[in-house]
A and B are shown apart, each in its own frame.
Chain A
Amino acid sequence: MFDVTTFAQLFVTGLAMGSIYALVALSFALLYKAVGILNFAVGEFVMVPGFISVVLLTTLKVPFLWAYLVTLGLMVFFGAVFQRTVYHPLRGRPFVTVLVSTIGASLFLRNTSLLTFGADPRVSPGLFTAKTVSFFGVFVPPQYLLIIATLIVLVVFQYLLFEKTLLGKKMQATAQDRDMARLLGIPVDTIILITFIYASLLGGISGILLAPVFYVTADMGFMIALKAFASSIAGGLGSIPGAIVGGLFIGVVELFCAAYISATYKDVFAFVILIAVLLLRPQGFFGEKIAEKA
């Protein structure tokens, strides 16, 4: 059982799952960093594009590239609407208020999805016809490789965006100190809107990647959101690289714990890690030292 093949199998699968967690955690952490909110509807940021891509690909038989582009386009719209309705009227209010608002949004989205798309789980066709690729006895579905690759590309893209472009720098400035940013002439409200749209796009990418391997249902967002929280915390709430590392870490570790310790309690491990991190190193892997009081 402790052979290399099993180990490698678990590792690759863990990385793939972890990449999904990382993407979603990224969306979550971004909104936390930029506007200080805990977005409890982040799971639905993944579910909605999942369904959209499924419908485009299966019912409307749109070719892959167009389907993905349209889905992402709709997610831009989604992010904007979300920001305007769920966050904007509540900006400046205590974060618990916004939290509850996102909960309402989550409930609304889950059930309208049920009404629109029906209750049956859906699967979308994948880009790859080959079911698995095999390296030295390790079976990897190509989609998993795509997920990991996408994460890498996205990380590079995001680094370039934040560090090398003016827009990215403005986003960072707004996140660090909103009032200062405003004084410097940065259109803070617009930047916040753009941040929401970007977070929504991250969800869109996750949804598109997930749909061929895991079945899309109206309630899938819940568990995904929880894992995203755990990943964000593990990596350091508010830290962008932290969200990514946290996600990968949780993805791999929970799978190993499931295999070698106990599979039933697999979900527990993610949260035990979360609590352990909070107790031993609250700032996570990458966060700055945090004050004791909120």
Chain B
Amino acid sequence: MKRFSLRILFYLAAAIVLVALPSLVRSNYWLGTIDLAIIYSIAVLGLNIVLGLTGQLNIAQAAFWGIGAYTAALLNTRLGWPFWATLLAAPPMAGAFGVMLGFPTLRLSGRYLALATIGFGIIINLILHNWKEFTGGADGIPGIASPVLGPFKFSTNASFYYLGLACLIIAALAQLKIKNSRMGRAFQAVKENELAAELSGVNAFKYRVIAFALCSAYGGLAGQLFAHRTKFVSAETFFIDMSILFICMLMIGGVGSIAGAIVGASLLTFIPEWLRFLQGPWAMAIFGLAIIFMMVFMPDGLAGLTRSIVQRIAARINPDGQEAAGRPSSGRIGATGEGK
């Protein structure tokens, strides 16, 4: 059928572009930026579970990102654990902290929870910064090793790209699975109407904590990748301004949408670099204005925008109102136009 093969063709094209990207882009600097965008995307995907699926505002994602990074850094530099081992250790560690934060605070309502997460994030940051004996204090932890697989070392931006991309794809697919699973529907129910959910036998609190744990685990994964890529971690990177940026990324990409999370993260990683030619404060000031602008004109983010455009194109192709084959939102990880 025409619809079927068009979709396949599209996925194939996307796959080719993604695999060939390093050769297409060539520039080491832009590849480095893309690597960073991938890492941020994973962190923002985590945020999507909590904010998008369960409707809770978490302004501490950078802290979990940091916990993941420091876990990887410490295990690698102090105990010699390789990349693949820290990959398995960092997300659960961050997840555990997520539960630790979630348990006492998730009974609070949205705005209160938001402020509690701010406090948590700051406390974590200060501990990372000041506990010299354990975390290296202000000096940070240098000398983290690059991932190694047999004879092959992932030390360049291009090689790391593939590693990061693989993790991102797995993370996104996992979230897609979660979204469509029973757990995902429970998240949705809690978000839409908690009272009704409870009456239907859904333990709201339990699901909120799970969502929080998943969110922080994603953050931890992003942190682990970050640590092995930049080979140095210091507490000042994992501060509330990054948490705030992650939220902006999600909102601009489109909260609730997996593709949105990735697009938002990528866009907000690239924009400051594109604006570099503007010299300093001009770039950041324009960036600030752009954020306001995007909130005003694109409240559902880019994903929502794309969705409405696709719907209108579809309506025009198929005036009977049937679902027609439209181009998936951003072509990255498949059609996620469904459900906010």
Contacts and interface: CB of A to CB of B under 8 A. Distances in A.
Interface string A222-245: 100010011011000100000000
Contacts of A291: 109
A278 B285 contact: no
A271 B285 contact: no
B118 interface: yes
A282 B115 CA distance: 11
A62 interface: no
Contact of A90 (B115, B285, B295): B295
Contact of A233 (B112, B285, B295): B112
A12 B119 CA distance: 26
B115 A268 contact: no
A101 B292 contact: yes
A294 B115 CA distance: 13
B111 interface: yes
A290 B108 CA distance: 9
A294 B292 contact: no
A81 to B, nearest CB: 12
B124 to A, nearest CB: 10
A165 to B, nearest CB: 29
B104 A279 contact: yes
Interface string B248-289: 100110010000000000000000000000001110110111
B123 interface: yes
Interface string A22-34: 0000000000100
Interface in A205-262: 222, 226, 229-230, 232-233, 237
Interface in B273-313: 280-282, 284-285, 287-293, 295-296, 299
Nearest to B121: A271
A232 B114 CA distance: 13
Interface stretch (A107-115, A138-146, A178-186): A107-115
Contacts of B81: none
A120 to B, nearest CB: 14
Interface stretch (A46-54, A91-99, A169-177, A188-196): A91-99
A34 to B, nearest CB: 14
Contact of A111 (B109, B123, B194, B284): B284
Given A104-B295, A111-B281, 15 more contacts: A85-B292, A96-B51, A101-B292, A107-B288, A109-B288, A111-B288, A226-B118, A230-B115, A233-B115, A264-B130, A268-B122, A272-B123, A275-B120, A282-B108, A292-B107
15 contacts: A96-B255, A97-B251, A99-B57, A100-B252, A104-B288, A104-B295, A115-B281, A226-B240, A265-B126, A271-B118, A271-B119, A271-B123, A274-B115, A274-B119, A278-B108
Interface of A: 32, 38, 40, 85-86, 89-90, 93, 95-101, 103-112, 114-115, 222, 226, 229-230, 232-233, 237, 264-265, 267-268, 271-272, 274-275, 278-279, 282, 290-294
